[in-house]
Amino acid sequence: MIANNIFKAIGDFCTNILFAPHNAIRSMDNWWLQNTVNWLFIIISFGFFIYWLRELNKYKKAGNQ
């Protein structure tokens, strides 16, 4: 019974607390505001991808393959 309560607590935390901002975003009427989070993730991911490619190029030039 204790393990069941732990999983119910985790599910309740995820549903009511972690997803609350996403539910607020979903109820907006403006498409641009709704997709701001997606665009931020895309920009951050692209920045990390460029950083990773530069690091790979630096190690390749140094001969550390």
Q: What is the CA radius of gyration of the chain?
A: 21
pLDDT tens track of the chain, all 65 residues?
788 899 999 999 998 998 888 888 888 888 888 898 889 999 999 999 999 999 999 998 988 76
Domain ranges of the chain: 1-30, 35-65
Round to whole Å and give the CA distance between 46 and 14: 28
Q: Which of 3, 2, 22 lies closest to 14, judged by CA?
A: 22
Residue pair 28/34 in contact by the 8 Å Cβ criterion: yes
The structure's pTM equals 0.58
